Amino acid sequence: MKHLNTSRSLGLRTLAVHAGQQPDTVTGAIATPITATSAFSYPDFDSGARRFSGEEPGYMYSRFANPTVTVFEQKLAALEGAETAVACASGMAAISATLFALLVPGDEIIHIGTLYGGTEGVVRNLLPRYGIKPVHVADVSELEAAFTKNTKVVLVETPANPGLDIADLAEIARLSKAANAVSVADNTFATPYLTRPLELGIDIVLHSATKYISGHGDATGGIVAGSATLITPIRTLSLKQFGGNLSPFEASLMIRGLKTLPLRVEASSLSAQAVAEFLDGHSAVGTVFYPGLKQHPGHATASKQMKLFGGIMAIELKGGLNAARTFLDKLSIITQAVSLGDTDSLACHPASTTHSAVAPEIRRQSGITDGLVRISIGIEDTDDLIADLQQALEGL
């Protein structure tokens, strides 16, 4: 049996490959086996009773826990520096389980800046049905004044989807702790390779694992990491009550994706910096929203809490909706599709896709205009991506 040498701190690339797993004890297989079973036997009546009561460890039913899923959870927890993690069927399952586990009727949740459209829907539309009040603040400067005795959760995305706003995670953590509120950071865009929110004081970190963690556009999942005290009720709600468990097949793809996460994220981040600098000088582009550009309002904060500036950007085309339509339809190497964080570069029009269900006035407040295009840079050759963008911008 292989054990990691923990006498010294291991790097993220090493943890991405080795954390949470060991060669199979029966066959010696290096790749984590896919445990494709719905139920697990136990030795006898009393053992079964003890497992279901929590007195004895052991697998019982794959909705509750599965060995393949456990490896994924342990690997991601190691990368985030978390005590534990729980995997879910999607990023939205992870967000929903987290918020409903932490909040009860009468509570308030503060959400900062712009959120992914699906998350906006849960916070603004679904939570109020259960007596939970959402409170929006534009940025961290407004946070302290927004706290009340009923504030229980502070939720933030950074970089935010789709406008790449940057929030100071250390300051959010400090203010939340002072108010006895749980801070939750969606780290999907940055990944643990670029930002480690828990080390900055954030209580819970979550991901749409469909994105960079999977990294190949072939699996859907979500994951939440933090202390056992906070994650245990989320696990109970998500898996036993909501039934939002991740399948072992998807988990095996997530494990594979995590092994190359540092390499992929670094490659896409370096390309994205070059692409952003090219777009910033183009006559058809009004604004490039990318934290790696010095004029980005969040550049200084991003420089403190990110290793690189990530592979996602957004651009505001001067020609508005018609320019966005023409630009997207002309792309050749870059694929027009939602999602992000794939090996393939992707581009989409948030106002008509990812944020189409968000009320128009909220879209306007968040800067999601008809001319805004979100671009996720993959791992293709940088020069090829720039050439594709250049030809798509011609004539706009």
- Active-site amino acid positions: 63, 116, 186, 211
In the DSSP assignment, the letter for residue 122 is I
Alpha-carbon gap, residue 20 to 267, rounded angstroms: 25
**DSSP track, 80-105:** HT-SEEEEESSHHHHHHHHHHHH--T
Alpha-carbon gap, residue 277 to 376, rounded angstroms: 15
**CB-based contact 209:255 (threshold 8 Å):** no
Alpha-carbon gap, residue 108 to 179, rounded angstroms: 12
Q: What are phi and psi of 331, to 5 degrees?
A: -60, 145
Helices of type H across 195-247: 228-235
Alpha-carbon gap, residue 6 to 77, rounded angstroms: 15
Nearest alpha carbon to residue 191 among 264, 240, 288: 264
Name the β-bridge partners of 373: 315
- Quick one: angle between helices 320-330 and 382-393, nearest 10? 130
